[in-house]
Each structure stands twice: as C-alpha cells, then as structure tokens.
Homo-oligomer: A and B are copies of this chain.
C-alpha cells in the first residue's frame, strides 16, 4: 500500500511510473542543510523522515475528508478500505521516527526525533481544527491562520530546522530556519487553497470545485466572507445553509469569492509570506536553492 501511495507500484504490486508527489519537504531539508554548509548525505534520513510524516498525514487526511483521488489516482482507503489505510498511516508515522532515529548521526538523533514528534502533535491539532471548521460558523481569518500554522506551517518549519540541525548549525540558526519554513508553509497552504478552487484538475490530480462543494472554509472563502461586501454576505449565507452545494451553487460561490476579493487577497498574502520569509532569513542563509524552492511554493500549478 505504501508503494502504491508513493506512485511506485500499481495496486497489484507491479512497478509503474506514477506521480510520486513533489517531495518539497525533503528538498527543503536538503537545501536548508546546504545553506548551513551541510552535505546531502547527512540530511538524507531527516529528509526521508519528514516525507514519511507528510505522507502519513495524507493517507489519514484522505480518509477523514473522504477524498477519492490523490495525485490523479484512487486514494489508498478507496482501494483497500479504511482499516488498512489507517494502519498504513500509523505504520508510516512509526517508520518516520525509526528512519530519523536510526539514520541520523548519534549526537543529533534525539533532537531530530524530538522536533519531529512535537511537529506531529501540532499537525494533528491543525488537522483537527481544519475538520472542525467544516461544521463551525463564523470562522475568522485569524482562526484560519492558527489552523494553518499547525496543519501546514509546522512540518515545513520542521523540515528547514532539521536541515540546519543535520548540518550542525547553532540553536539560533535552527530557529531562524524554522521560522523561514513556517512562513513558506503558510504561503504553500494559501496557494493550495487557490488551487483547490481555481486549479487545473489535470495538473493538481484533484477533482474541480471539490473544496467549494464541501464548503471548505479556506482562505479565499474566509477572507471573502470577512470583506463586508455584498458578495461576501451572499457567500456567508450560502456557506451557512444546511444543504450541500450542487454544481450550480458552487459556480455561483466561486464567482462571489472572486468578486468579494477573496482570490486577490489570498494571492497577495501568499506572495507576501514568501517575500517576508526570505527577507527575515539572515543573508548568509539565503541560497539560490532556497530561493527557487520558496518561489516554487508560491507560483506552482500543482
């Protein structure tokens, strides 16, 4: 099931060449290590560990969200059922810890595992809030930002911090890399939210209009509702109704989000977070690789 999820195998275990995902978090670990003069080999286990954590959450999130496709293929739970998919996620979480503790240099293994475990608790908190938002009214932009800090910011902060750790950086540098990664994480989620509404299903591998139909309170929606415009008010009314949104409702909702300024606001916020992430990082750490990754977080189409 893990090999299937990572795009290496089909459901019968035969090798295929499907989309394995971006491995952005592993790339951040390696690039952050390099920014602190560390080699890729020393950071490889930490990179694998954060990818295992990320994929454990994807497998479980797909169950919670009842998502049928991921990277253009049926999700693990939709092929093998909820029980097996839960257990795969549990095992991937355990394997992340095992990879970190057994693969990292002895003198940093405990710190790497400690950061990883604290991050996983934050991830659970963020995902819990995200799911709770679907049935809660009156979500503000601030509520949303706190949720995203856990759901997406924590692991990208952890990725950059672990890269620095593996390179033997001092505590101050590790903290700076953590803050950098957390900002990138926000920009990443804002972009994800945009793609969830205006993305190309062909590129994202996710069905179109999904987020709106299930009335997901992503940043464009929350910002539109808080805008105080008439479009925002109509949108708030649609999102607070009991019945699910059909395709026609969803089209109308997308139009309202755009008219209320939710799209432009989110695009601006994504760009700003990337700019601030880079601006706040000590100059000596701003490498070309980190800049390319940071720009990619914001400008991506999938």
Q: A84-B128, A94-B93 are in contact. Are A101 and B121 (CB under 8 A)?
A: no
CA distance A87 to B63 in the complex (A): 11
Inter-subunit contact A90/B87 (CB<8 Å) = no
- Segment from A111-119, A201-209, A223-231 that makes contact with B: A111-119
Q: A110-B110, A131-B83 are in contact. Are A121 and B102 (CB under 8 A)?
A: no
Cβ < 8 Å to B, chain A residues 160-194:
none
Inter-subunit contact B117/A98 (CB<8 Å) = yes
Inter-subunit contact A113/B101 (CB<8 Å) = yes
Assess whether A91 is interfacial by the CB under 8 Å rule. Answer: yes
Across the interface, A94 reaches (CB within 8 A) one of B86, B89, B121, B131, namely: B121
CA distance A84 to B132 in the complex (A): 9
Assess whether A213 is interfacial by the CB under 8 Å rule. Answer: no
CA distance A40 to B80 in the complex (A): 43
- What count of chain A residues pass the 8 Å CB interface test? 36
How many identical subunits does the complex contain?
2
Inter-subunit contact A95/B83 (CB<8 Å) = no
Assess whether A120 is interfacial by the CB under 8 Å rule. Answer: yes
Inter-subunit contact A90/B89 (CB<8 Å) = yes
Inter-subunit contact B64/A94 (CB<8 Å) = no
CA distance A131 to B86 in the complex (A): 12
| Contact residues of A: prevailing secondary structure | helix
Q: A64-B86, A90-B60, A127-B87 are in contact. Are A95 and B121 (CB under 8 A)?
A: yes
Assess whether A124 is interfacial by the CB under 8 Å rule. Answer: yes
A116 to B: closest C-beta gap in Å:
8
Assess whether A245 is interfacial by the CB under 8 Å rule. Answer: no
Assess whether A285 is interfacial by the CB under 8 Å rule. Answer: no
Assess whether A106 is interfacial by the CB under 8 Å rule. Answer: yes
CA distance A84 to B125 in the complex (A): 10
Chain B residues positioned under 8 Å from A118 (CB to CB): 94, 98
18 cross-chain CB contacts under 8 A: A60-B86, A60-B90, A63-B82, A64-B83, A87-B124, A88-B124, A90-B124, A93-B93, A94-B124, A95-B117, A97-B116, A97-B117, A98-B114, A98-B118, A98-B121, A101-B114, A102-B114, A110-B110
The chain A residues found within 8 Å of chain B, CB to CB, are: 56, 60, 63-64, 82-84, 86-91, 93-95, 97-98, 101-102, 106, 109-110, 113-114, 116-118, 120-121, 123-125, 127-128, 131
**Which 4 A-B pairs rank lowest in CB-CB distance, beginning with the nearest?**
A94-B120, A98-B117, A91-B124, A97-B117
